[in-house]
Amino acid sequence: MYRNRVCMRVLAAILAAAIFPVVSLAQSTSPVAPRRQQVEAIVREAFDKYKSDTTGKNADYIPYLAQVNPKLFGIAIVTTDNQVLTMGDVNYSFSIQSISKVFTLALAMEELGPEKAFQRIGSEPTGRAFNSVNAVVDMPTHTGNPFVNAGAIATTSLINGKNEDEKWNTILAFYSKASGEKLALIDEVYKSEAATNTGNKALAMLLAKYERIYSDPFEAVDIYTKQCSVGVNAEQLARMGATLANNGVNPATGEQVIKREDIPYILSAMTMAGLYDASGSWAWHVGLPAKSGVGGGIVAVAPGKGAIAVFSPRLDEAGNSVKAQKVIEYVADHLDYNIFSPGSVGLK
Ligand code: GLN
């Protein structure tokens, strides 16, 4: 009888471990993940404080983006132990745009390692707009860094595959693993951007002149345009960020998506150039590695703790979502997330 009960308990424990492996794995690897109650009140305050802010305007150089409802506003936090907190329009799928650049860099590093990726792309801030032609001419590397368009198109050109479709599918599958869900192209965004991306084609041809693009330039631009047109909602984006915060392990699936040793390089590049020529001001005020996209998303990573993603389409002059910046600054400040603050690791 006693033995039977022990057997039952052992069986139950084995079953529980099989059903909830992710929870136990995530909890054991995330001693500093913030508690839900801590975060909930702060996020609510930030949401209420900024929900009526109408500063900035939608990107309009991509026709699709000009007609997205500017009032949409969603916030999601995913912690390294996979607690999820969402507020506002969190089911809306917006185009990931430049935030994709982070994950294509991660994929290129999977294949090449950090040193070769650094040699082929570099990581210097340009101090110029994200689509600057002058930066390509002036920067000694020409590519600048992986998060301006030129450097990002060059990064996409590094992805292996026997043809364009295979390369594209590799990228999409990688993003999906980082988010823990199957992501898809928003076809209308892709068509809208592909019909108007002459500037990006010019950047790619200029890189070819300097021998700083590593596949057919137009093929690279086309795949890059597709990667920018991937749809994500705020929670999916926050989980992609949480994968970075969790040493490359997706906190929902437990899968090691990005090599652990690549994470510091990716986060350092996000700190230097994640918000383009506003990255210095962002580091000064917020102190979190982050990446923005002209679709209105920003994801910021608190290493070891989690990530916050905010979506709001109205952008400032640099092309960064106004509300997303304000919300993330508020939350990072109130939760002491700034990585440059000793308080972020508990020093009072
Ligand atoms: N797809 C956009 C472009 O190439 C991405 C730019 C961005 O999000 N900053 O212009």
Instruction: Fold for 36-345, please state it.
Output: Beta-lactamase (3.40.710)
> Does the CB atom of residue 227 touch ligand 1 within 6 A?
no
Whether residue 117 is predicted with pLDDT greater than 80 in this model: the reply is yes
Quote the ligand 1 centre to 240 CA distance (angstroms): 19
Whether residue 14 is predicted with pLDDT greater than 70 in this model: the reply is no
Quote the ligand 1 centre to 38 CA distance (angstroms): 35
Tens of pLDDT, residues 307-329 = 999 999 999 999 999 999 999 99
Q: Which one has a higher pLDDT value, 13 or 229?
A: 229
Ligand 1 atom closest to the CA of 228, numbered from 1: 1
Whether residue 25 is predicted with pLDDT greater than 50 in this model: the reply is no
> Does the CB atom of residue 228 touch ligand 1 within 6 A?
yes
Tens of pLDDT, residues 207-263 = 999 999 999 999 999 999 999 999 999 999 999 999 999 999 999 999 999 999 999
> Which of the four pLDDT bands, split at 50, 70 and 90, describes residue 9?
very low
Whether residue 330 is predicted with pLDDT greater than 70 in this model: the reply is yes
Give the relative orientation of helices 217-228 and 100-112 as an angle to the nearest 10 degrees. Answer: 130
Quote the ligand 1 centre to 319 CA distance (angstroms): 9
Quote the ligand 1 centre to 3 CA distance (angstroms): 64
Quote the ligand 1 centre to 229 CA distance (angstroms): 9
Ligand 1 atom closest to the CA of 295, numbered from 1: 8
Tens of pLDDT, residues 250-304 = 999 999 999 999 999 999 999 999 999 999 999 999 999 999 999 999 999 999 9
> Which of the four pLDDT bands, split at 50, 70 and 90, describes residue 17?
very low
Residue 174 tokens, joined: 């990688």
Ligand 1 atom closest to the CA of 293, numbered from 1: 8
Closest residue by Cα to atom 6, ligand 1, is 98
**pLDDT score at 52:** 97
Quote the ligand 1 centre to 197 CA distance (angstroms): 10
CA dist list (Å): 67 to 40, 148, 196, 230, 305: 32, 24, 15, 17, 35
Encoded amino acid at 245, one letter: A
pTM for this entry:
0.90
Q: To test the ligand 1 pocket, which listed residue (136, 149, 292, 325) has its Cβ within 8 A of the most ligand atoms? A: 149
Quote the ligand 1 centre to 97 CA distance (angstroms): 5
> Which of the four pLDDT bands, split at 50, 70 and 90, describes residue 86?
very high
- The mean-pLDDT minimum among 36-40, 92-96, 127-131, 178-182 falls in 36-40
Tell me the percentage of the chain whose pLDDT exceeds 90. Answer: 87
Q: What string of DSSP letters covers 324-337?
A: HHHHHHHHHHHTT-
> Does the CB atom of residue 80 touch ligand 1 within 6 A?
no
CA dist list (Å): 4 to 14, 139, 218: 15, 72, 67
Average pLDDT over residues 13-21: 40
> Does the CB atom of residue 203 touch ligand 1 within 6 A?
no
